[in-house]
Amino acid sequence: MSTQGKSSRTDKVTTQTVVEMKRSGEKISMLTAYDFTMAGIIDSAGIDVILVGDSASNVMAGFDTTVPMTLNHMIYHTSCVVRAVQRALVIADLPFMTYQVTAKEALINAGRMMKEAGAHAVKLEGGKTITDTVRKIVDAGIPVMGHLGLTPQSIYKFGTYKVRAKDEKEAEQLLKDAKQLEEAGVFSIVLEKIPSELARQVTELVSVPTIGIGAGHYCDGQVLVLHDMLGLNKDFSPRFLRRYADLHEIMKGAVSRYIDDVKSGDFPNEQEQYN
């Protein structure tokens, strides 16, 4: 199998596929999506994994944080994405306070995400404090992705979206958390906004793939928020973000030309109406 360029796979991507991709050295591509149309486009482009992130709170709903997102919001977004996808693995975030109270409640909520939305796996933020919960969900047959480093649901504890684990103590804890998540049964771990050297250590430490966002090139895969990489969010420019398009300008230009055509009477013309 090629270890460079786009995946030649045409079969459905599963949690086993991404673990195998780490073993064979094939990088894993992951993007967020929250709706049917966008999910269909990125799936047809060949993306390996689609994350229905609770970043929907920011980019779809306009909240400042991911904290307000509810399970019903996430089930709605995930079901829209699942209906569009033919090939990619679809992972859904469990939102804030749907898995932190008890492991039993977490399992019920993860189950709703699978049964009502059709997700293929769920993602939970945190390390040692959630390992019992992860074990319970995995034991029930639901694949779990972990998420360490900058965990946005804890923004009010952190107080900032700056790079995490720059000091030795936090870095050591993160390494322990990654190992414990692996032992609890996660099939993959997102590493958000940590130094690339620490991401390298985690990636070498665990047998499951690491997916980085602002965590450098040693990770087994990369994830970006779709609206950021397409240039729809003009105001968000962190160092780690590479923009692949300027859709904000393209959409604004198209709408502006439409307005001009309506105002001038140029639209609709003879061919664009019924006789």
Q: Give least dist CB 108 to ligand KIV, A.
A: 22
CB nearer to ligand KIV: give 28 or 190. Answer: 190
Cis peptide before 268 (omega within 30 of 0): yes
Tell which one of 48, 54, 177, 182 touches ligand KIV (CB under 6 A). 54
Cα 5 from Cα 24, distance rounded (Å): 14
Q: Does 32 bind ligand KIV (CB under 6 A)?
A: yes
Residues of this chain, 151-190, that bind ligand KIV according to CB under 6 A: 190
Q: Length of the chain in residues, anyone? A: 275
CB nearer to ligand KIV: give 22 or 95. Answer: 95
Which residues, in sequence order, are bridge partners of residue 210?
189
Query: Are residues 28 and 51 in contact, defined by beta-carbon separation less than 8 angstroms?
Result: no
Q: Does 229 bind ligand KIV (CB under 6 A)?
A: no
CB nearer to ligand KIV: give 43 or 93. Answer: 93
Cα 231 from Cα 56, distance rounded (Å): 16
Tell which one of 13, 148, 225, 229 touches ligand KIV (CB under 6 A). 225
Q: Give least dist CB 238 to ligand KIV, A.
A: 11
Q: Does 7 bind ligand KIV (CB under 6 A)?
A: no
Q: Give least dist CB 126 to ligand KIV, A.
A: 12
Tell which one of 15, 55, 78, 131 touches ligand KIV (CB under 6 A). 55
Q: Which residues contact 43 (CB under 8 A, 6 or more apart)?
A: 50, 84, 85, 86, 87, 88
Considering the candidates 172, 182, 192, 270, report the single residue annotated as catalytic.
Answer: 192
Q: Give least dist CB 94 to ligand KIV, A.
A: 11
Q: Which stretch binds ligand KIV (CB under 6 A): 15-23, 36-44, 48-56, 159-167?
A: 48-56
Residues of this chain, 102-131, that bind ligand KIV according to CB under 6 A: none
Tell which one of 33, 121, 124, 213 touches ligand KIV (CB under 6 A). 213
Q: Give least dist CB 151 to ligand KIV, A.
A: 8
CB atoms closer than 10 angstroms to residue 68 = 13
Q: Could you confirm whether 249 is annotated as catalytic?
A: no
Active-site residues, by number, are 192
Which residues contribute to the site for ligand KIV (CB under 6 A)?
Answer: 32, 51, 53-55, 93, 190, 192, 213, 223, 225
